[in-house]
């Protein structure tokens, strides 16, 4: 496929099609993934949009984008059902008739037959493409995409020179396979790149976004590389991005910036890029040949799930106990009835006893316990929603301390940050004698 585009107004836009996106029924992960891929190719990406399954609104969005950008990438609306309107709307927007592509229809029938399914009449709609469009093959699904530079009769002053549209299905696995097999190479050849981008994400726990920004303030005004803070669920990240003529040069630009930021960060920096608190903690334990168990109340297994999500966790993580009821805390973990009565389930003595109990019954070297009030009900003046006690037990001692997350962000957030805080406390304990990551 040819990737040559005339010079003209620049950049790429992404238009995601689907009423389910507007309703919030599904998360628009496709837009994020495409943005990352475009950045990796060094291609300017100026705008993202979402439009529902409405023909007229879709046509209007297509026409607007065609006047601004050189390449429009669409996702969604390529299926066989009546609300899959993308291909037909694109043809209508730029005045081109649709034609059936026999090779596409044959491919659709073969794929459906291979799955033991007959081809329905509606599937035939997926073989229709605008006259002149190139097929963007779909290696895994039945819905092909297209690469098309419209050429309306008599010209169209509203289109950017060389405006081209690439269409993808909304199914993430199909979109990614099509991108990697065909679209990425086409875009590399399209003359859109303004250099190569390299990026790095530094991950922090135990410091707020504003505090981190103050600490790294002089770098936040850097034009290249750029440094930008982002707040997540309990963690803060610094995104470092450099642009250069090639990947090696971009990486060299990042190196001194990252080194300086690491030096300033101290123990609050827990990892980079794809690291998680769980993966970092497991690796620290693995280096020591040590094992871990957990006891959870208000997090209901969330801590154990985050550990089990890391590949290879089984050589470190022995297991855990969800001790939601006081009877389980008492009968299984050995928390004394006196401590439960005197201090209550949400307390340091009970958290410590939970950690020691799960360490004892599993034989682990280290253990972590969480007990708290996740809400929205159950709080009192002394023990409000968002109060969580976290204990870490190791070979030498057990330490427990409370943290108050507040009730404002809700139950799921309290549970998530409680698990993260527990892992971070264990991480800091392990680093007390081993130095920084």
In eight-state DSSP terms, residue 1 is -
DSSP 158-197: TSPTT-EEEEE-S-HHHHHHHIIIIIHHHHHTTT---SEE
Burial-class residue 254 by CB neighbours within 10 Å (0-12, 13-18, 19+).
Answer: middle
Query: What is the per-residue pLDDT for 154?
Result: 54
Query: What is the per-residue pLDDT for 3?
Result: 44
Q: What is the pTM of this model?
A: 0.78
What does the block give as tokens for 282? 């497991």
What does the block give as tokens for 2? 């040819």
- Distances in Å between the Cα of 232 and the Cα atoms of 205, 207, 257, 313 are 10, 12, 22, 24
- What are the pLDDT digits (tens) for 340-395? 999 999 999 999 999 999 999 999 999 999 999 999 999 999 999 999 999 999 99
- Distances in Å between the Cα of 289 and the Cα atoms of 81, 137, 285, 398, 436 are 56, 49, 6, 20, 18
DSSP 324-341: -SHHHHHHTT---HHHHH
Percentage of the residues of the chain whose pLDDT score is greater than 90: 84
What does the block give as tokens for 401? 């301390």
Q: Confidence band (pLDDT; 50, 70, 90) for 152?
A: low
- What are the pLDDT digits (tens) for 256-268? 999 999 999 999 9
pLDDT at 8 over 80: no
Spatial separation of the C-alpha atoms in residues 30 and 167, rounded to whole Å: 12
Query: What is the per-residue pLDDT for 293?
Result: 98
Of 245-249, 281-285, 375-379, 389-393, the one with minimum mean pLDDT is: 245-249
Q: Confidence band (pLDDT; 50, 70, 90) for 44?
A: confident
Burial-class residue 297 by CB neighbours within 10 Å (0-12, 13-18, 19+).
Answer: buried
pLDDT at 437 over 50: no
Q: Decide which of 354 and 41 is more confident.
A: 354
Query: What is the per-residue pLDDT for 5?
Result: 43
Beta-strand runs (E) in 226-304: 226-231, 235-244, 269-272, 292-296
- Residue with the two structure tokens 């006047």: 67
Percentage of the residues of the chain whose pLDDT score is greater than 70: 96
Spatial separation of the C-alpha atoms in residues 337 and 327, rounded to whole Å: 9
Query: What is the per-residue pLDDT for 155?
Result: 61
Q: Decide which of 311 and 119 is more confident.
A: 311
User: Is the separation of the CB atoms in 17 and 58 below 8 Å?
Assistant: yes
Which domains does the chain show, CATH number per domain? 12-188 (3.40.980.10), 196-272 (3.30.70.2860), 277-431 (3.90.950.20)
Spatial separation of the C-alpha atoms in residues 242 and 219, rounded to whole Å: 13
Q: Across the chain, which distance is largest between two alpha carbons, in Å?
A: 88
Half-sphere exposure of 255 (CA within 13 A, CB side): 6
- Mean of the per-residue pLDDT values for the chain? 93
């Amino acid at each position: 496929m040819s990737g040559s585009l005339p010079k003209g107004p620049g950049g790429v836009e992404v238009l995601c099609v689907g009423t389910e996106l507007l309703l919030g029924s599904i998360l628009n992960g496709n837009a994020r993934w495409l943005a990352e891929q475009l950045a990796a190719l060094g291609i300017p990406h100026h705008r993202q949009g979402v439009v529902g399954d409405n023909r007229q609104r879709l046509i209007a969005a297509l026409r607007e984008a065609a006047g601004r950008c050189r390449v429009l990438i669409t996702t969604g609306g390529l299926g066989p059902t009546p609300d899959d309107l993308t291909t037909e709307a694109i043809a209508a927007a730029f005045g081109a008739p649709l034609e059936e592509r026999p090779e596409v229809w044959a491919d659709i029938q073969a794929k459906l037959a291979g799955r033991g399914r007959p081809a329905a009449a509606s599937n035939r709609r997926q073989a229709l493409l605008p006259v002149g469009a190139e097929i963007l093959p779909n290696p895994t699904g039945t819905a092909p995409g297209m690469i098309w530079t419209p050429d309306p009769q008599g010209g169209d002053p509203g289109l950017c020179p060389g405006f081209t549209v690439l269409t993808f299905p909304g199914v993430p696995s199909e979109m990614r396979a099509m991108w990697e097999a065909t679209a990425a190479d086409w875009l590399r050849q399209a003359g859109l790149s303004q250099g190569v981008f390299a990026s790095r994400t530094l991950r922090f726990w135990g410091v707020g976004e504003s505090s981190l920004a103050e600490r790294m303030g002089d770098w936040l005004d850097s034009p290249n590389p750029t440094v930008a803070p982002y707040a997540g669920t309990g963690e803060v990240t610094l995104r470092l991005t450099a642009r250069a003529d090639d990947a090696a040069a971009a990486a060299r630009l990042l190196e001194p910036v990252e080194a300086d930021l690491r030096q300033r960060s101290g123990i609050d920096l827990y990892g980079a890029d794809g690291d998680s608190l769980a993966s970092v903690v497991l690796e620290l334990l693995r280096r020591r040949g040590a094992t871990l168990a957990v006891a959870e109340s208000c997090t209901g297994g969330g801590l154990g799930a985050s550990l089990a999500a890391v590949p290879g966790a089984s050589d470190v993580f022995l297991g855990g106990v969800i001790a939601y009821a006081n009877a389980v805390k008492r009968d299984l973990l050995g928390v004394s009835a006196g401590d439960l009565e005197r201090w209550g389930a949400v307390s340091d003595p009970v958290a410590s006893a939970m950690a020691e109990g799960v360490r004892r019954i599993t034989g682990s070297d280290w253990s972590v316990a969480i007990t708290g009030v996740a809400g929205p009900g159950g709080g009192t003046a002394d023990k409000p929603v968002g109060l969580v006690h976290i204990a870490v037990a190791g070979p030498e001692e057990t330490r427990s301390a409370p943290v108050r997350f507040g009730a404002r962000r809700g139950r799921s957030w309290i549970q998530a940050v409680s698990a993260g805080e527990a892992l971070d406390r264990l991480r800091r304990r392990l680093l007390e004698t081993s130095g920084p990551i």
